[in-house]
Amino acid sequence: MSYSMQEQENKLSLIKSGKWYDFPEIYNLFSFSEDKGERCIGYVLDYIKKNDLKIKNPVDLGSGTGKIYDQLIKEMNYNGDVYLVEVNPNMIQYLIKKYGNEVKVLKSKIAEFQLKEEKSNFIISSFGFPSSLFDHENCIRELKNVYQNLTDDGIFITIGWNEKWDDELSLMWKNYVCDNSIRRINGVRNCNLKWYINDIKTSIRFDDFKQRDFVLHTLFGEKAKEDFANSTQLEWSMHMGITIHTKKQLKTILKGLEKENEGN
Ligand SMILES: C[S@@+](CC[C@H](N)C(=O)[O-])C[C@H]1O[C@@H](n2cnc3c(N)ncnc32)[C@H](O)[C@@H]1O
C-alpha cells in the first residue's frame, strides 16, 4: 500500500482498524521506541550468560520489523540458522529486504510453523506470543506448537506486557484503542505461564515531537495527536514482564491446560 493511501487511512487509528502491521515503516518507529533502554533484552542476555546457554537455531515468533534479531540475537553466540516467524505479508517483505540471506523468514502462523531440518533450543517472542492474547484456545495451540519445535533442552521466552495494564501506554490504549483491563485471561499470556520477572519499569520514548506526532497520529488516531498538540511529553511508562520456561516446564503446563479443558 502506498504512502498516500496510508495518509487516508490515518484519519483513523491504524491500531483500531487492525491494520497497523500492514505498515512496517510506521510499526518500526513504534517498536524501536519501546523499551529504548533495552531493559528486557538485558535480562534475557543475563539469563543466557548466567546459565551458559549454547544456543542453536534461535527462533523469533511474530518478528515484526526484526527488533529481537537486531537487539538480542545479533548480540548472542549461537550455532545454526536464525528463524523469524511472521504472518503479515508486508512485514515478511520488509524482513526479507532488510536481512536477505542472513536469516530464514518463515511465512507462517505461530500455531503452525515447523522447523523442518532441526529443532531449536531457543524460541523467543517479544509482543508476539500469544498472537491474540484474549483467544485462550489459540494461546494453547501456539504453546503446543512451540513445544513441538523445541529440543529437549530448549527454552521458551516471552517478552511483553505485565498484564496489569497499569502503565501510561496502557492508558493510551484504553483512551484511543480499547480497554484491555476489563477482559479476563487465564494465567500469564492466557496459557498459565509463570513470570520470570514481572513489573519491569520501562517506557516508550520518541526522539522528537515530529516522530511522536507521526506515531500518535497514525497508530492512535487524529484525536490522540490533537490531545497532545500542546504537550511536551515524549515518553510514556511501560510495565513489562518476561517469562522463561524449559521444555519440561511447558509439558507440565500443557498437561494442566488439557486437564482444565477436560473439566469444562
Ligand atoms: C506486536 S508485533 C511485535 C513485533 C516485534 N516482535 C516487536 O517486538 O517489535 C506482533 C507481530 O506478530 C505478527 N503476527 C500476528 N499474528 C501472528 C501469527 N498468528 N503468527 C505469526 N506472526 C503473527 C504481526 O504481523 C506483527 O508483526
91-130: per-residue pLDDT in tens? Answer: 999 999 999 999 999 999 999 999 988 999 999 999 999 9
pTM, two decimals, is 0.95
Of 9-23, 208-222, 241-255, give the lowest mean pLDDT range: 9-23
Q: Is the CB of 126 under 6 A from ligand 1?
A: yes
Distance 21 CA to ligand 1 centre (A): 8
pLDDT band at 262 (very low <50, low <70, confident <90, very high): confident
Interval 211-218 mean pLDDT:
92
- DSSP for the chain, written as a single string: --HHHHHHHTTS-TTTTT-GGG-HHHHHHHHHHBTTT-HHHHHHHHHHHHTT--EES-EEES-TTTHHHHHTGGGS-EES--EEEE--HHHHHHHHHHHGGGSEEEES-TTT---SS--EEEEEEES-SSSSTT-HHHHHHHHHHHHHHEEEEEEEEEEEE-SS--SHHHHHHHHHT--GGGS--SSBTTTTB--SEEEEEEEEE-SSHHHHHHHIIIII-HHHHHHTTT----EEEEEEEEEEEEHHHHHHHHHHHHHHHHH-
Q: Give 192-203 pLDDT, tens digit per residue.
A: 999 999 999 999
Distance between Cα 262 and ligand 1 center (Å): 30
Cβ of 33 below 6 Å from ligand 1: no
pLDDT confidence bin for 1, thresholds 50/70/90: very low
163 lines ligand 1 (CB under 6 A): no
Ligand 1 neighbour 142 (Cβ under 6 A): no
What are the residue boundaries of the structural domains of the chain, listed by start? 3-263
Q: How far is the CA of 63 from the centre of ligand 1 (A)?
A: 6
CATH number for the domain running over 3-263: 3.40.50.150
Which of 28, 105, 127 is the best mutation target for the ligand 1 pocket, counting ligand atoms within 8 Å of the beta carbon and taking the most? 127
Confidence of residue 9 (pLDDT cuts 50, 70, 90): low
**What pLDDT score does 261 carry?**
80
What number is the average pLDDT over the span 232-239?
97
